[in-house]
Structure 1
C-alpha cells in the first residue's frame, strides 16, 4: 500500500472516530424560534390571566373587609323636620347597641363633597331631598345584632333606614368567585392550546425524521428512549419560551404599577386603583407566575413525550398484525 493510500485511510479513520453522533431530533427540524415564540406568548397571556385573577380577588377581599366594618344609617329630610336633632338622636341610639365601636354623623360639607362629581360645586343641599348619613363603625369580631339596631331606630320614629351592606358584600364575594372560576377556565384553555401546539410541532419534527425513527425502533430502540430524546429537546424549548413569557409578564405588572403611581392624581389612574388597587400582585402573584412558567415547560416536555409514544404505538400495530 502506498504512502498516499495509507495517509488517506488514516484521515478517513480519524474523521470517523472524531465525528459526533447526530441527534435523533436535529434542532433544524423543529420550528424552534416559532415554537419558542408561541410558548412565550401563551405563557405571557396565562400569567396575565393569573395576575388579573389575583388582583381582582385581593381587591374584592379588601372591599369586603372595608364594607363589613361599617354600616350606614340614612335619614330623609322633610318639611317641618329637625334633621340635626334626628341625626343626634340616631347617633346616640346606634352607639348604645353592643358591637358598635364608633358613630360619625356626615356633616353637610362632607355630603356636598360626596355629591360634587354628579351635582357640581355650590349646590344648596337644603333645597334638595338629599338624605343625611350616619356612619356606624362595627366590631368585625363581635358584630352587632342589626335586627336589634333596626328595632331601636324604628322605636325613635325618625324614619331612619339602616343599611348593613350585606347585599353588597354578597355580590362582591360572588363576583370574586365568578372571576376566579372564569380566570381558571381561561388559563386551562391556554394551557390546552399550548399542548396542542407542541403536539403539532412534535408531529412535524417526527415527520421530518420519520425514517430515522422507524429504523431505530425496528432495530430495537425502545419507545421511551426515542421519546426521551424528543422530551429533552422540547423541554429546553419550553423552558426558553416559558421563561421569556414569564419575564415579560413580570415586567408588564411592574410597568402597570409604575404607571398608576406616576399618574396617581389623574381620573383614569384613580378609577384603576379603585378597581384593581396599585397593580401589585405581591409575592404570591410572582410565585404564581413562576409556577405557570414551570407548568408550561412541563406540559411542553410531557406532550412531546406522549406524542412520540403514541406515534410509535401506531407503527407497532401494523407490524404486529403482519406477524
Structure 2
C-alpha cells in the first residue's frame, strides 16, 4: 500500500506544473531575506567591535605649511600625554597613507593631501570606555589643542546599529511571511488536486482505504515537487549571491557589505528548501485529512 506506485494520478494535474515554480520563488525570496539578515548582523558586529572603544580627534592643520608643522609638533606631544592615561590602549596620528585610504572611496587614489584642507586625525583605542577616561582626554585636548574636536562615534554608531537591527528584524519577518505564504499555496494546490481527483478519492474512500493512505499519496507528491522547486530556488539565490559578491569585489569599497558566507551559514541556507519541503508535506497531509474527514 505504501509502495512507489501512485494510485492517484497527481502528476498530470495543474499542481505538478505550478507548485514547483511557486516554491522556487518562495525559497529564493526567503534565502535572499535571510542573507540580508546575516549580512546586517555581521555589519553591526563589525561596527560595534571596531568603534565602541575608540575615539577620533580632528585637529585643524592651519592654512600655511608653517602652521601645519607647528600643530603637528603639538599633536606629537599630546599623544605622549594620552599614552599616560591608564585606559588608553593606543594613541597615534594617522599618516598621509592612512588618510588616503580613508578618503579613497570618495576622492579616489593618489590624493595629494597637502593641497587640501584636511585636518590631522588622532586615533585612540581604549581598553575600556569610562567617563573618567573620556574626561581626561577632553581636558588634555582642550588644554593643548583648543581648536580640536573629539568624536567618540557613539551617536552615529548607535543610529547605524539601530538601523542594522531593524533591517535584520524585517528580513527575518519576511522569511516567516514567505513561509506562511508557501503554506497557504500548498493548501490551495492540494485542494485543487482533491477537486480534480475527487471521484478517484471518493472511490478509494468507499472501498475502505484509510485516510492516512490517501493522505500519503498527496503528501509524497507535495514533498517531491517542493524539493525540486526548493533546491531550484536555492540554486538561483546562490547565483545571485555570487554575482553580488563579484560586483562588490570589483567595487573594492570599505563602505559596502561583504556577501561572503561561512560554511555554517551555507548550511543554514540549505535548511530553507528542506524546511519548505517539510512544511509543504505536512500542510498537504493535514489538508487532505481534514477534507477526507468531511466526506461521507
Shorter-normalised TM range: 0.7 to 0.9
Answering whether residue 18 of structure 2 is matched by residue 37 of structure 1, we say no
The whole-number CA distance in structure 2 between the counterparts of 1:276 and 1:215 is 59
Aligned to 1:270: 252
Structure number, greater radius of gyration: 1
The whole-number CA distance in structure 2 between the counterparts of 1:124 and 1:189 is 54
The whole-number CA distance in structure 2 between the counterparts of 1:205 and 1:125 is 74
The whole-number CA distance in structure 2 between the counterparts of 1:87 and 1:250 is 50
Aligned to 1:48: 32
Q: TM-score, normalised by structure 1?
A: 0.76
Give, in angstroms, the shift of residue 299 of structure 1.
1.2
The whole-number CA distance in structure 1 between the counterparts of 2:97 and 2:30 is 47
Tell me which of 192, 197, 202 is aligned to 1:209: 197
Q: 1:177-256 maps to which residues of 2 (within 5 A)?
A: 177-256=165-244
> Is the CA contact 1:56–1:176 (under 8 Å) kept in the aligned structure 2?
yes
Aligned to 1:14: none
The whole-number CA distance in structure 2 between the counterparts of 1:205 and 1:89 is 81
The whole-number CA distance in structure 2 between the counterparts of 1:164 and 1:249 is 39
Answering whether residue 102 of structure 2 is matched by residue 104 of structure 1, we say no
The whole-number CA distance in structure 2 between the counterparts of 1:293 and 1:87 is 58
Answering whether residue 58 of structure 2 is matched by residue 74 of structure 1, we say yes
> Is the CA contact 2:34–2:171 (under 8 Å) kept in the aligned structure 1?
yes
Give, in angstroms, the shift of residue 171 of structure 1.
2.2
The whole-number CA distance in structure 2 between the counterparts of 1:21 and 1:104 is 75
Secondary structure class of the residue paired with 1:137:
strand
Q: Unaligned regions of 5+ residues in structure 2, if any?
A: none
Answering whether residue 261 of structure 2 is matched by residue 291 of structure 1, we say no
1:1-35 superposed Cα distances (whole Å, 9 cap, x missing partner): xxxxxxxxxxxxxxxxxxx9761243112431332
The whole-number CA distance in structure 2 between the counterparts of 1:154 and 1:51 is 46
Q: 1:71 to 1:63 in 2, by over 3 A?
A: same
The whole-number CA distance in structure 1 between the counterparts of 2:274 and 2:247 is 29
Aligned to 2:289: 309
Q: 1:169 to 1:27 in 2, by over 3 A?
A: same
Answering whether residue 164 of structure 2 is matched by residue 164 of structure 1, we say no
Q: CA RMSD in A?
A: 3.0
> Is the CA contact 2:78–2:140 (under 8 Å) kept in the aligned structure 1?
no
> Is the CA contact 1:64–1:172 (under 8 Å) kept in the aligned structure 2?
no
Tell me which of 76, 79, 101 is aligned to 1:88: 76
Aligned to 2:260: 280
Give, in angstroms, the shift of residue 114 of structure 1.
5.1
Q: Unaligned regions of 5+ residues in structure 1, if any?
A: 1-19, 264-268
The whole-number CA distance in structure 2 between the counterparts of 1:131 and 1:123 is 10
> Is the CA contact 1:50–1:288 (under 8 Å) kept in the aligned structure 2?
no
Aligned to 1:10: none
Q: Once structures 1 and 2 are overlaid, which stretch shifts more, 305-314 or 238-247? A: 305-314
1:123-169 superposed Cα distances (whole Å, 9 cap, x missing partner): 7558x4x5322111233xx4463233223433446343322212233
Give, in angstroms, the shift of residue 109 of structure 1.
7.2
